[in-house]
């Protein structure tokens, strides 16, 4: 099997890096090396930014309708190549093909939303705000934007960034994860095939040195980060201190409350999928279930459902979850499982030592279920980012709400109930940015903003929806008064033609 070299994307063309530092991209189910990705030079980063800065001069003046047509063409190309994109995700990330296809669909939603840019970027006008004075706003692009994405969604996360950024007239430098870059690169190729001009969208690869260079670069005006809390906080602060507009979507500890009046089978099935799908490698995964009152009796059924889930390579059509992204990720998750045991949690289902026939070297960890979990335990305090579900039992809805609100993170939460009063009370009192009601993973559709809160988010505005349009634009307010020319004789104005 040939090993491909992942290029940079500069000036509208794939370019092989001059870097001497390269990293293997590995299939997590087999450990086979499928590609090499460069940690590009700082000169190449500067080249990407310079290319974007030069392209901005003309791109910002491109009519909205033309930018809209490019987004329309991009969404058509993503649809046409959706299977190819999903296969690239599965090969390098490991998630199952259905999960990968779902990710492509989520990314496509954002591009479809960007197709409405002709209405999304409209300003406001007040005629005769004062006598013969009009006041109106222009929503103008900022300049060069940049984005740094995590490994867990190599299509969706870039789509959370560059489509709306460039549709609003900015140019962009993207740094995808070095662990699974091929799907992202194919997406960028499709964007250029759709008509994105050279320099408008550039790609660099690398680690902390490259990320820091982007944060420090004076020609970059705004940056978006999606990743772990530790890294996201560092990059957000660095970019902000450099005077940039910044946003960071970071770690989470998402809870799902199950009330005793919920639809039992639906709640359990949804819990299993949201906790263990994508091997738990989702910032919106429900990693804690809070069983309220008599719903605590459902624990045995939840455990049996976890045991029945099928672990296999992402290409196995009946697999419920695939491997973790790397051996290091597997080692970390298994260490946290051991810590949970050591701290007194009850291990009902143990996913360690998971063996998949024909894939002895895969990074597989099976569904893991703990009960008797308390807020002081490491498995509760840390984001495990693996197929591990913690069960907390409480007596009342009030206890559940207080328990969740005491957690420092606020990315997402869900409740399963058949009571409208309970659901309304929960959505009102819970201090979490995204709420699901009988929905296990409350990621909103792309024309609503991603609204994680508290320790899961830095910055006032999130990706997608109206907030993303506001993030990638600056408002200019014009106050205008026009006088009749003094040297024009009476009646002449009536003859003025606009032809």
User: Active site residue: 40, 115, 215, 283, which one?
Assistant: 283
Contacts for 385 with CB less than 8 Å, ≥ 6 apart? 152, 280, 281, 329, 332, 333
C-alpha distances (whole Å) from 187 to each of 74, 84, 113, 157 are 9, 10, 17, 11
Angstrom distance (rounded) from CA 444 to CA 432: 14
CA dihedral 454, 458, 459, 464 (to 10 degrees): -90
Long-range interactions of 72-75: CB distance < 8 A, separation 24+ = 72/115, 73/193, 73/194, 73/195, 74/111, 74/163, 74/190, 74/191, 74/194, 74/196, 75/108, 75/111, 75/112, 75/115
Q: Is 283 a catalytic residue?
A: yes
Q: What 8-state DSSP symbol labels residue 347? A: E
Q: Measure the N-to-C terminal CA separation of the chain; round to a whole number of Å.
A: 65
Angstrom distance (rounded) from CA 32 to CA 92: 10
Angstrom distance (rounded) from CA 117 to CA 122: 8
CA dihedral 364, 368, 373, 374 (to 10 degrees): 20
Contacts for 170 with CB less than 8 Å, ≥ 6 apart? 56, 59, 60, 141, 142, 143, 144, 145, 221, 222, 472
Residues with catalytic roles: 283
């Amino acid at each position: 099997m040939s090993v491909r070299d992942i290029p940079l994307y500069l000036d509208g063309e794939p370019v092989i890096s001059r870097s001497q530092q390269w990293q293997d991209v590995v299939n997590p189910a087999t450990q086979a090396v499928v590609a090499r990705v460069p940690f590009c030079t700082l000169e190449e980063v500067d080249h990407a930014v310079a290319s974007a800065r030069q392209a901005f001069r003309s791109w910002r003046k491109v009519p909205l309708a033309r930018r809209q047509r490019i987004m329309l063409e991009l969404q058509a190309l993503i649809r046409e190549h959706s299977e190819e994109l999903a296969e690239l995700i599965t090969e390098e990330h490991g998630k199952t093909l259905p999960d990968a296809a779902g990710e492509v669909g989520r990314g496509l939603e954002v591009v479809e939303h960007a197709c409405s840019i002709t209405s999304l970027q409209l300003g406001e006008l007040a005629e005769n705000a004062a006598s013969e004075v009009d006041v109106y706003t222009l929503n103008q692009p900022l300049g060069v934007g940049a984005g740094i994405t995590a490994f867990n969604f190599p299509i969706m996360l870039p789509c959370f960034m560059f489509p709306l950024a460039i549709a609003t007239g900015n140019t962009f430098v993207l740094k995808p994860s070095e662990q699974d870059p091929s799907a992202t690169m194919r997406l960028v190729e499709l964007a250029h095939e759709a008509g994105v001009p050279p320099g408008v969208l550039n790609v660099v690869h690398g680690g902390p040195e490259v990320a820091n260079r982007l944060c420090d670069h004076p020609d970059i005006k705004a940056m978006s980060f999606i990743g772990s809390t530790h890294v996201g906080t560092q990059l957000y602060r660095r970019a902000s201190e450099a005077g940039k507009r910044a946003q960071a979507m970071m770690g989470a500890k998402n809870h799902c409350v199950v009330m005793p009046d919920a639809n039992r089978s639906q709640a359990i099935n949804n819990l299993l999928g949201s906790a263990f799908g994508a091997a738990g490698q989702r910032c919106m995964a429900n990693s804690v279930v809070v069983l309220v009152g008599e719903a605590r009796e459902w624990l045995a059924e939840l455990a049996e459902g976890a045991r029945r889930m099928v672990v296999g390579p992402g290409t196995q059509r009946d697999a419920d979850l695939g491997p973790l992204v790397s051996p290091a990720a597997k080692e970390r998750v298994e260490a946290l499982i051991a810590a949970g045991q050591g701290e007194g949690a009850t291990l009902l289902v143990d996913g360690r030592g998971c063996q998949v026939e024909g894939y002895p070297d895969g990074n597989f960890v099976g569904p893991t279920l703990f009960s008797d979990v308390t807020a002081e335990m490491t498995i509760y305090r840390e984001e495990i980012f693996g197929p591990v579900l913690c069960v907390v039992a409480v007596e009342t809805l009030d206890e559940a709400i207080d328990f969740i609100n005491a957690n420092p993170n606020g990315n997402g939460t869900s409740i399963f109930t058949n009571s409208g009063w309970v659901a309304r009370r929960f959505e009102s009192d819970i201090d979490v940015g995204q709420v699901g009601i009988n929905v296990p993973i409350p990621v909103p559709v792309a024309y609503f903003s991603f609204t994680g809160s508290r320790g899961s988010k830095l910055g006032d505005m999130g990706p997608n929806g109206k907030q993303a349009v506001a993030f990638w634009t600056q408002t200019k307010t014009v106050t205008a008064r026009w006088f009749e020319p003094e040297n024009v004789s009476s009646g002449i104005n009536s003859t003025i033609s606009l032809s």
